[in-house]
Every structure is written in C-alpha cells, then in structure tokens.
Structure 1
Amino acid sequence: MVGLRERKKQRTRRALIEAALRLFGEKGYEETTLAEIAAAAEVSTRTFFSYFASKEDVLFYDSEHQIERALAFLSAPAPGQTPADLLRAFIEDTLSTPHEGQDTWSEQSARRLELIMREPPLQARALHLLFDSQLRLAEALSAAYPGRLGRVEAAAAVGSLIGAVKLAVMTTLIDGLPVEQARDAARRAADVAFHGLPR
C-alpha cells in the first residue's frame, strides 16, 4: 500500500505535469518558464527541481519507466515462445489496458506527442530516446534467445516493429484523429510489420 508521503509526491508530480502541458498549449513551449509551471502547480521552483531537471524532462517523465517495463517483458519469454510470438505478445500488452504509471493512450499523452512533434528540441530528444530504446530492446530480445537470434536479426525485428507502430500513431495524431483510432492504427501497423504488405 502506498503511504501518505508517497501519495503526496505523486500528486505534486502529476500537478506539475498537468500544469506544464496546459501552459505549453496556451503559451507555447519556449515561452513557458519553469517558474510559471511551478506557480501553476502551487509549488516553489525549488520543488520543481526535486521532480524534474528541466521543463523538457516534464514531457518525457515516463520514458525510463516504459523502457524498463518493455525490457522486462522481452527478457522473459515463456517456454517454447518464439521471438515473433514474444513480440506479438509485447505489442498486444502495450496496446491493451494501461498499466500502473502508463498513460500511453490518454488524451493528455496525445497532446504531449503533438507538442513534441511541433518543437525541434523536443523532436531531437524524442529521436534520441527512440534510438536508445530500440537498441536496448534489440539487445534484450537477442539475449533472450542465445544462439538462436543474432543481434542483427533482433535489431531488424525490433526496428521494423517499433518504427511501424510509432510512425502510424504519429500519422494518426497529425491527421487530428482521436486516440482510439491511434491505437487501432498501431495494431494495423504491427500487422504490416509482422506479415508485410499484401501483394
């Protein structure tokens, strides 16, 4: 059970995230200051730095949690589970009911992605995280099948699957479609990555 102190920290963190996203939407990312985010969340700037190193970090607050969860999933295939079946299970798990600390399919997450796509510094950070996470996931997948799946094959499998899903989601959001359609687009993209385009 989460204690009172931890619940208070979670509320403060969430308040900072929500305040930042609202201000970024209203004023623009570059125009919003750390002090304004802290004031909107009713905390001090010093408290802000207890949670985030920069305003950029607010937008990527769950990145490490998500990658750690993905690494754990790909590192533990079931007995007899093939690499393709493991990747299918991973994608379905990601697209299913949100897990603790995950809001991938929320409207807030959609607004965050839209903001990242508009701001070059945020795009650069997102690309860095994408490449880093794909390398780590490919290493985990290869290590889960020693002697069966080489690093190049694991990298190709992870890159094609994650690339297809991410780009499909971003395309859907750019078109202004709702989050549920982005989830459906992700499933269709994963299917294309697994089976290829029909002739």
Structure 2
Amino acid sequence: MELSLRERQKERRRSEIYEAAIALFKECGFENTTATEIARASGVSRGTFFNYYPYKEAVLLDYGSLVVEQLQAEAGRRLDEGQPPLQVLYDIWSLLADENTRERDLFPPLAYEVMNPNPERAQTAYRALRLSGVVELILRPLHDAGELRSDLSLARMSNLIADTYLLVALRWSAYGTGRSLHDELRLSLDLLLTGALKRQGTGS
C-alpha cells in the first residue's frame, strides 16, 4: 500500500533524526550525546525528537533492528543456496562480530536495554533485537531432520544461543579480553552446540 504524503514526511524525518543521532554517537560517544544535540543536528526541536524517539536508547534499537534484519536476510540466502546450517550459523556470528567490533561503543548501551529494569523498555528492546529469530531460522533444518536434542524446544535453544551472544559481546565490548570478539564467540558457540546436538545412541 502506498504511503500518504504525511507518512512519507514522517518516515523521512525519522530517518534524518536517526542518521544525525548515529553520527553523533560515533563522533562524540553515546553517553556524551544529548537529545538536544541530536535535535539540533537533525534540524528539529527537542520535543520533536521525543515524538519520534521517547528516549535516547530507542535510536539504538532502530540500529540493532536493522542489523538483525540484514543478518536474517543473509542467513536465508545462504540456506537457500544449500549451505550447511551450522556453517551458516558460524558465518552469521562472524558477520555480527565484525559489526560489533566496528561499532564497539554502540553495543553496550544497546545490550543494556534488553536488561533494562523498566519492563516496558526491556520488552521493546527484546522485540527490536530478535536475534533468536535468526538463530531459529538457521537451526530449523537441523530440527526438522531430527538432528537436535529433543528435550529442548527449538525456540528455547535459539533463545539461549542468542542470549549467550549478547552477554559475551557485551562483556567483550565493555571490558575487553585477550581474544578477539570472533574468537570469544566461536568458543562460546562451540560449547553451546556441543550441548545442542543430539548424542549418538540416545534420544536426547
């Protein structure tokens, strides 16, 4: 359905605010950037900014949602080409590690939103950052073929893997380790998949 002129104008304004905010986050740091500065950079009033984004972290949710959408599309493409699901999962994790490494300063406040003590904000973040949906898409062929554990649902395994990613990447982004994020994630994924794959000679 074609958008009305008013709707197109609102989308364009939201995009302008988003682009200005992300540019300021990268230049000045998320914590050092205020809503007033974002509004000024995007040519709107502070009140208009809050009409589009009720709090500063909501801008990051748009960023995270876009990243997840791109990963989902890439995962679907690779699966359609017949690539093995586990290889797709490792490759998608690597792409996500690339993004988090490039935008290391943006990731901690984004991940913290998922754990926000305000239930409404935490739920909003969870809906925006549906990384578990990407994992579920990738693992579904293995699930349908009976190659995953039967005592855990596909959704639960996917959520556990996605949650582990968030925690590992958050720790790496905020505190750093002696290893690259790629190596940290591969180690964690190796451990999780060892527990997720069906053991030979058992039903679980």
Where does residue 124 of structure 1 map in the other structure? 122
SS at match of 1:75: helix
Structure with greater contact order relative to length (CA < 8 Å, sep ≥ 6) = 2
TM-score, normalized by length of structure 1? 0.59
Counterparts of residues 159-178 of structure 1 (less than 5 Å): 159-174=159-174, 176-177=175-176
User: Which residue of structure 2 lines up, in the alignment, with residue 64 of structure 1?
Assistant: 65
The question of whether the paired residues in 2 share the 8 Å contact of 1:67 and 1:133 is answered with yes
Hey, what does 2:183 align to over in structure 1? Answer: 184
Q: Residue 18 of structure 2 corresponds to which residue in structure 1? A: 13
CA distance in 2, matches of 1:83, 1:110: 26
CA-atom RMSD, angstroms?
A: 4.5
CA distance in 1 between counterparts of 2:43 and 2:31 reads 19
Sequence identity percentage: 20
Quote the offset at 1:91 in angstroms: 1.6
The 1:94/1:120 distance shift into structure 2, 3 A limit, reads same
Look up the equivalent residue of 2:109 and give its one-letter code.
R
Distance 1:52 1:184 in 2: 35
AA aligned to 1:112 is P
Letter in 1 for 2:122: A
Letter of the 2:85 partner, please give it.
P
Whichever residue aligns with residue 140 of structure 1, its letter is L
Once the two structures are TM-superposed, the CA of residue 106 in structure 1 deviates from its matched residue by 1.8
List alignment gaps of at least 5 residues for structure 1.
1-7
The equivalent of 2:91 in structure 1 is 89
- Secondary structure, counterpart of 1:25 in structure 2: coil
The Cα of 1:58 is off from its aligned counterpart by 1.4
Q: How does 1:14-33 map to 2 (within 5 A)?
A: 14-19=19-24, 25-26=31-32
CA distance in 1, matches of 2:193, 2:83: 16
Distance 1:93 1:169 in 2: 13
2 CA distance for matches of 1:124 and 1:24? 19
Moved more, 146-155 or 165-174: 146-155
User: Cα deviation per residue 1:159-181 (whole Å; 9 max; x = unaligned)?
Assistant: 3432222211222344x227974
**Structure 1 residues 125, 117: CA separation in 2 closer, same or farther (over 3 Å shift)?**
closer
